[in-house]
Amino acid sequence: MKAARIRNGDIGVEEVDDPQPGPDHAVVRVTAAGVCHSDLHLARGDWYGMRPEAVGHEAIGIVEELGPGAERFTAVGDRVILGLGGTGGGYWCGACEYCLNGQPRHCAQAKGVMGTFAERFAVYAPGLVKIPDSVPDTEAPLACGGLTAYGALKKLLQYDIKPGRPIAIVGAAGGLGHYAIQLASAFGYRVVGVDVGDERLEFIRSLGAEVAVSADEAAAVVAQQFGGVDAVLVFAARVAGYELGLNLLRKGGLFVGVGLPPTSDGNFQIDPFRFFINDYRIIFSAVGTVQDMRELVELAAAGKVKTHVDRTGALSELSTIFDELSAAKYLGRAVITDLGA
Ligand SMILES: [Zn+2]
Ligand SMILES: [Zn+2]
């Protein structure tokens, strides 16, 4: 079968062996694979120089083959979306304290999902979520981008920030942010979307944000209109976005980090006295759970959230798409819809 592989920082298509399904695993014929910014960061070695050979962790496809035991979770012919993103979606034990508390990515046995830029992919079957035909293949980025945004928003309720309260989303027009704006608006929060450039701000408004504001004006506008927001979700993959996020919070506010800047950006620093005076709550949110994915598929089927797709292409175009993505050529997501060409 055809599959994308990274060699010396470049991504190309190679002929590789078909995957075989191990115990509790299913082989999915991939019909669409989203291109996530993480794939680009990994291909370029942006994160501590980590460079896996295979990337791609967002996919929709049809179950073709089952390993022993997988019939308990899925069936041949099921149309499915991979349900747990890149972090921890490949395997989790299901029995340790983290798994049982809904944080399988911290499971000592957790494995990631990597390699969906391929005609076929073997995956841990409990992570698969069935999707209705009304949710098209181009929604493949829900598998990581959408799930990560949804998982971060659910943290607001966990920390008692109720609908009706003002929240800010930094990096609002991006691959993750654009889901967060739609979902937060649907949940009834008063949403401030922060990004840069007129086109991106217009896009944020069209997705339902109450206020769309440029990064350089955000702190002043938020202070004046809301006296600070109850929570800020930082999707921007820059340390500057983290620093801006902290400046938007009211006292006691919740800071949710999501975007992962390149390690060359340096550290996110907090003055302990500022921490003491403002009493911020600072957490991180990565992907979500399989249950979150099921809920997200229902929200997508109900029309509450939709992927903004700006580019589709064949597997052979992946290298070009990576270049376009790093040059920020489009607002929304790119999806590989032909894995055999
Ligand atoms: Zn576990
Ligand atoms: Zn991702």
Report the separation in Å between the CA atom of 189 and the middle of ligand 1, taken as the mean of its atom positions.
33
Residue 332 has pLDDT above 90, yes or no: no
Instruction: State the distance from the centre of ligand 2 to the C-alpha of 158, rounded, in angstroms.
Output: 23
Of all helices (H) and strands (E), which one includes residue 289?
none
Give pLDDT, residue 172.
Answer: 96
Taking the C-alpha atoms of residue 215 and residue 195, their distance in angstroms, rounded to an integer, is 6
Distance 52 CA to ligand 2 centre (A): 14
**Cα gap 80→89, rounded to integer Å:** 14
Is residue 290 within 8 Å of 83, Cβ to Cβ?
Answer: yes
Q: Is the dihedral of CA 331, 234, 208, 133 positive or negative?
A: positive
- Report the alpha-carbon distance of residue 297 to residue 88 in Å, rounded: 19
d(CA 58, CA 329): 21
pLDDT in tens, 66-91: 999 999 999 999 999 997 765 667 89
In the predicted model, what is the mean pLDDT of residues 250-279?
Answer: 93
Give the pLDDT mean for 198-214. 96
% of the chain at pLDDT higher than 90: 78
Measured from the alpha carbon of residue 95, the closest ligand is 1
Ligand 1 center from residue 101 Cα (angstroms) = 9
> Residue 66 has what pLDDT?
98
Nearest-angstrom CA–CA distance, 11 and 319: 6
- Per DSSP, the three-state class of 12 is strand
Using alpha carbons, select from 268, 41, 250, 257 the residue that is nearest to residue 170.
257
Query: What local confidence, expressed as pLDDT, does residue 329 receive?
Result: 81
Measured at the CA of 261, the angle between CA 257 and CA 266, to 5 degrees, comes to 105
Q: Give the whole-angstrom CA distance, residue 4 versus residue 24.
A: 25
User: 102 CA to middle of ligand 1, Å?
Assistant: 10
Question: What per-residue confidence (pLDDT) applies to 84?
Answer: 73
9-56: per-residue pLDDT in tens?
A: 788 999 999 999 999 999 999 999 999 888 888 888 787 777 788 889
Q: How far is the CA of 146 from the centre of ligand 1 (A)?
A: 24
For ligand 1, the distance from its centroid to the CA atom of residue 28, given in whole angstroms, is 24
Look at residue 268 in the predicted model and tell me its pLDDT.
92
Q: What is the token pair recorded at 237? A: 């993959």
In the structure, what pLDDT confidence band is assigned to residue 129 with cuts at 50, 70 and 90?
Answer: very high
- The answer to whether the beta carbons of residues 222 and 212 sit under 8 Å apart is no
Q: Which ligand is nearest to the CA of 151?
A: 2
User: Which DSSP string corresponds to 219-284?
Assistant: HHHHHHHHSSEEEEEE--SSHHHHHHHHHHEEEEEEEEE-----GGG------HHHHHHH--EEEE
pLDDT of residue 56: 92
Q: In sequence order, which residues have a C-beta less than 8 Å from that of residue 284 and are 6 or more positions away? A: 256, 257, 258
pLDDT tens digits along 90-105: 899 989 999 998 888 8
Residues 6 or more apart from 52 whose CB is under 8 A from it? Answer: 6, 42, 114
Q: What is the pLDDT of residues 290-328, one digit of tens each?
A: 999 999 999 999 999 999 999 999 999 999 999 998 887
Position 262 confidence tier, pLDDT thresholds 50, 70, 90: confident
Q: Hey, what are 143's tokens?
A: 């598998």
* Distance from the alpha carbon of residue 95 to the mean position of ligand 1, in angstroms: 5
> Looking at per-residue confidence, does 112 or 119 come out higher?
119
Tokens of 207: 């997705």
Report CA(154)–ligand 1 centroid distance (Å): 21
CA dist 277 to 35, 211, 250, 253, Å? 41, 28, 11, 12
Q: Among 160-164, 238-242, 258-262, which is the least confidently predicted range?
A: 258-262
Ligand 2 midpoint to CA 29 (Å): 20
pLDDT at position 221 over 80: yes
Share of the chain above pLDDT 70, in %: 99
The 10s digit of each residue's pLDDT in 156-174 is 999 999 999 999 999 999 8
* Distance between CA atoms of residues 6 and 10, nearest Å: 5
Closest listed ligand to the CA of 98: 1
Using the mean position of ligand 2's atoms as its centre, give its distance from the Cα of residue 116 in Å. Answer: 11
Would the pLDDT of 244 be above 80?
A: yes
CA 111 / ligand 1 centre spacing (Å): 10
Higher pLDDT, 87 or 272: 272
**pLDDT of amino acid 166:** 98
